[in-house]
Amino acid sequence: MPAKTWKEWEGPVLELQDGIAKLRQMAAKEADSAKRKALESKIAEYEARLAKYIDTQYSQLGPWEKVLVARAEPRPYTLDFIQAICSEFIELEGDRRYGNDPAIVGGPAVFRGRPIVILGHQKGRNIQQRQYRNFGMAKPEGYRKAIRLMQMADRFGLPVVALLDTPAADPGVDSESRGISEAIADSILTMLGLRVPTVAAVIGEGGSGGAIGIGVGNHVLMLEHAVYSVIPPEGCAAILWRQPERGDEAAAALRLTAQSAMELGLIDRIVPEPKGGAHRAPDVAALSLGDELERSLKELSGLTPEELREQRYRKYRSMGVFGTAG
């Protein structure tokens, strides 16, 4: 049976880390210097073993393991990245229609000296935060807030950076009543029509319509272990084989990794993650993402407003693989 969660999959690593932490405590309390030396060498040995284990594990991540890593709780989320890469950020809340959706955050920011508008899906880490952020599943008001922010960026000639990290858009009765489909469709159309540079980056889970709703970029980036899928692998397995537990097979079939997206020509670049994944060294991951975002914004800064719109049109217009009969 494949692991079901990131915690389960990284179990051996977490155990080893725990063990090392305990040894450290013991070493700190140890008065006898010879004994302390022995403990310290033990720690060094375990640490080397841990590093090697992480190295091997993360150099051969399969599609399902990537799904687990992309969903990992300690993985940096949108606000973590914003905090790390922007020198200023003023969050603006509310869609001016109905309410404020905490599952999508955004506002004007300064990124490496450039004024921009940055937005993205926001997940929560503990139970309260997860509930408050609705597990990163945005409601119509979230997409309408995004539309409002993007239109504002357009008015003031500011580039838009969107960070994608959602399992899906919210499927509940409330969202349906307030037009979740229309909100996503309108957000996609708005983004297509912007006359400012747009860069989208999948930082974790790129979950279907909920993700593409704010994912229309002149450039699209994906973090090395992020995933992007039309349907969650468990859902796909439930439809295909009526066995949601075969998510690992469905993940492989869906070709949802950054590497596959690159091969299919659906993204522009893969953002390398630190060894052992973005959650092992969030600062390094943020630096890496920042570098790639800056590169994209520099490349796009040479295009006129009309060229930016046309480039986006052509990019999405050409997506798809088909044949002709005869």
> Which residues of the shown chain bind another protein in the complex (CB under 8 A)?
137, 168-169, 171-173, 175-182, 184-186, 188-189, 191-193, 208-209, 212-213, 215-216, 228-231, 234-236, 238-240, 244, 253-256, 260-261, 264, 266, 313, 316-317, 319-326
For another protein, give the closer residue by CB, 50 or 202. Answer: 202
Place of tokens 């995004």: 146
Least distance (Å) between residue 250 CB and another protein = 9
**DSSP character at residue 244:** G
For another protein, give the closer residue by CB, 187 or 288. Answer: 187
For another protein, give the closer residue by CB, 11 or 171. Answer: 171
Least distance (Å) between residue 76 CB and another protein = 23
Least distance (Å) between residue 35 CB and another protein = 53
Would you call 63 helix, strand, or coil by DSSP? helix
Least distance (Å) between residue 273 CB and another protein = 20
For another protein, give the closer residue by CB, 86 or 220. Answer: 220
First to last CA, the chain: 45
Would you call 93 helix, strand, or coil by DSSP? coil
Name the β-bridge partners of 110. 88, 115
For another protein, give the closer residue by CB, 43 or 267. Answer: 267
For another protein, give the closer residue by CB, 116 or 222. Answer: 222
Asked whether 237 and 251 are in contact (CB, 8 A), the reply is no
Name the β-bridge partners of 220. 200
Mark out the alpha helices in 121-257 (DSSP H runs): 127-132, 140-155, 173-177, 180-193, 208-212, 233-241, 247-254
Least distance (Å) between residue 112 CB and another protein = 28
Asked whether 70 and 225 are in contact (CB, 8 A), the reply is yes
Q: Single out the residue of 167, 168, 164 nearest to residue 201, CA to CA.
A: 164
Least distance (Å) between residue 57 CB and another protein = 25
